[in-house]
Structure 1
Amino acid sequence: MSQADDLETPPPSVQPVLLLGLLLPLVAALCYPFRHRLYAAAGRLPYSITEPTEPVQAHLGYRPALDPFAAPVLALTGSGAAPAARILAVAALDEHGENSLVVIPRPDTTALFGLAEDELLDDDTAALFIPGNLDAALAYLETELAIRENTDVQQARRLLLVANPEGESERIKALLDRHPGGVSVILIGDWAGDRVTVDDDGMVDAPSALHLPQRLPALSRTEARDRLFSIVAHQKTLQKPPSKRRSSPRRSQTKPSNPLKS
């Protein structure tokens, strides 16, 4: 009988262990709120809280806050020169189209906007003029500025040339020197004066006097082309202004009467 009792009764050393295992969860549950109250009294939280950061919003579309007419010459260089010239040209057409004229030779419209040779040939938009080449563009600007100077024109559209110099740097410089403040130019290529370097990410390295942003927004050639056609279509719906080819008003001409008609 004593041997049977010994087999049914657990060893004495096991009972405290079982009792401690039952009491530990209860003690932990009771101490948890008390521990939080201690942290609150000490003025700090038991864990660190990180403020959620707002995701960076992607800037879609075209909304540059810059003035393409801010400097007489913006000579762009670097891998981002063409996109920078593209967005400056669109800014001039979109933001300043009511009082400015952007002159872009046909080869440069192809390079910047992807225009074909037969696109916008009959365009009569007051804010855009596409001559056949750089020589024709400079000839127009030289004539227009001479007319304004000789006729003392006070109210006229601001002029902006966007082009690759193509060896005409001296002629462009002479035009700027002869008519200070009369025209602004955005050049993509070699230029002897100050240059603006733009990289692939649109980061700008320029003299502080030019007042350019540190980074220019991105605008692909496809987006710029769509934007260009949208601007042209919008301006055609407005009232047709006087011809952009001359600043002075044209003289009215009366057709001679036909002597055969009585």
Structure 2
Amino acid sequence: MCYPFRHRIYTAATAGLSPVPAPSAQGPEAVRFVYRPALNPFATPTAGLTGPGATSTARVLALTALDVHGDDSLVVVPRPDAITLFGLAEDELLDDNTAGLFIPGNLDAALAYLETELAIREKGGVTEGRRLLLVADCTQEAERIAALLTHHPDAVFAVLLGHWTGDQATIDDEGLVEAPPAVASNFPSRLPAMSRMEARDRLLRFLAQQKDTQKPSTRRRSTSRRG
């Protein structure tokens, strides 16, 4: 079930562009500019985000998980959050069976899936499997999410918008981060920005590229392995 993505999202924003030295006159390649955000959606169990730059940061973290960590992770984004983050329509990607992405109808369905999957792993003695990343507005289910994270460390992670009761990083409209030290250490000093239009375009291209390379397969649970 593990199908690597071949394209990176390192051109997600203009901040932090670093020029690659120009090749010699005989060199066939042109000068390229590459942006490499020091972001890892799995650096901490929970990334609570608030402030005017929070939604943009959530987009970048979700796409980083899909692209950079797509071999061994599953990103779960409830439909309302997929609409907010990526501009997807209500009926878009309903039949999508991409290995690294799951879009359930709402947050309750997303949590029910995660709870069921983790319970099956626990009952079956599964010690290795896809890392699960929830990207959602947690306002209605903060306590339920907290319980899930507590009971399944290193198996489920979360990027949370809305009213999170734990530590949060406040992202301003320039991408600057204000957060407690333990949280701030997981972020660069300035976070890249990404609009909903750009995020939608990149998401759809990633999914199309993966479908071009993946073999017919069943859903995600078969990726787990017994310890």
Q: With the length of structure 1 as denominator, give the TM-score of the two structures.
A: 0.69
| 1:226 is the counterpart of 2:211 | no
1:212 aligns with 2:169: no
Kindly indicate whether the alpha-carbon contact (under 8 Å) linking 1:101 and 1:126 is maintained by their aligned counterparts in 2. yes
Pairs within 5 Å for 1:142-153: 142-153=115-126
From 78, 89, 93, the counterpart of 2:66: 93
The question of whether the paired residues in 2 share the 8 Å contact of 1:103 and 1:131 is answered with: yes
Q: Using the alignment, how far apart are the partners of 2:69 and 2:224 within structure 1? A: 21
Distance in 1 separating the partners of 2:222 and 2:122: 12
1:181 to 154, 179, 203: 154
Uncovered stretches (5+) of structure 2, i.e. residues with no partner: 1-13, 18-32
Unaligned runs of 5+ in 1: 1-55, 250-262
C-alpha distance in 2 between matches for 1:231 and 1:98: 13
Contact 2:15–2:192 under 8 Å retained in 1: no
Instruction: Give 2:119's aligned amino acid.
Output: A
Counterpart for residue 219 of structure 2: 243
| Equivalent pairs, count | 194
- Greater radius of gyration (CA): 1
Alpha-carbon displacement from aligned partner over 1:113-145 (angstroms, at most 9, x marks no partner): 100011111111000000000000000000000
The structure with the greater share of residues assigned to helix is 1
SS in 2 for 1:185: strand
Q: Deviations over 1:169-190 (max 9, x none)?
A: 1101111111122200011010
Return the TM-score normalized by structure 2: 0.80
Amino acid in the other structure paired with 2:188:
P
Aligned runs of 1:1-262 on 2, under 5 Å?
59=17, 63-210=36-183, 211-240=186-215, 241-245=217-221
Q: Is the 1:148–1:247 contact (alpha carbons within 8 Å) kept by the matching residues of 2?
A: no
The structure-2 alpha-carbon separation of the partners of 1:87 and 1:195, relative to structure 1 and needing over 3 Å to count, comes to same
Higher RCO (CA 8 Å, separation ≥ 6 residues): 2
Q: Please tell me the root mean square deviation across aligned C-alpha atoms, in Å.
A: 2.1
- In the alignment, what sits opposite 1:39? none
Stretch of structure 1 that moved more, 61-70 or 108-117: 61-70
